[in-house]
Amino acid sequence: MARPPRIWISSETPAAGEVVRVRAQIVHVMESGLRLDAAGALIPRNTLTHFTATIGEALILDWVPETAISQNPYIEFTFKARLSGTLTMVWSDATGVVAEASQEITVL
């Protein structure tokens, strides 16, 4: 995950109770470990293994991706704005690499 994740949020200052739409994409090879390289050797598995989205200490989404997820995965989710805080999204992969993106959300 050489590049930082890209995130889009429908509103950084939603009204209380407003539904906020979040879209995020991360650059990742998502290698399944089932393909061979030109020399005939297995290419090591390197897939995303976990994704979480939180606001402060409140968990919004916890996702465990499967092998069939495409390269450079895109995720979209919504949540109801109830409290202000930092929306933090964390991706981790099979090699132990972790990427994080965050955005302040201020509920009006």
Q: Which domain holds residue 58?
A: 6-105
Report if residue 83 sits inside a domain: yes
Confidence band for 78, pLDDT divided at 50, 70 and 90:
very high
CATH number, residue 51: 2.60.40.10
Report if residue 36 sits inside a domain: yes
The span from the CA of 31 to the CA of 13, in Å, is 38
Give the pLDDT confidence score for residue 7 in this predicted structure: 94
Residue 73 pLDDT > 80, yes or no? yes
First to last CA, the chain: 35
Confidence band for 30, pLDDT divided at 50, 70 and 90:
confident
Give the pLDDT confidence score for residue 38 in this predicted structure: 92
By CB neighbour count within 10 A (0-12 exposed, 13-18 middle, 19+ buried), where does 50 fall?
middle
Report if residue 1 sits inside a domain: no
Give the pLDDT confidence score for residue 59 in this predicted structure: 95
User: What is the DSSP secondary-structure string of 29-44?
Assistant: --B-S--B-TTSPBPP
As for how many domains the chain has, the answer is 1
Give the pLDDT confidence score for residue 10 in this predicted structure: 95
The pair of structure tokens assigned to 62 is: 């916890």
Bridging pattern class, strands 58-63 and 98-105: unpaired
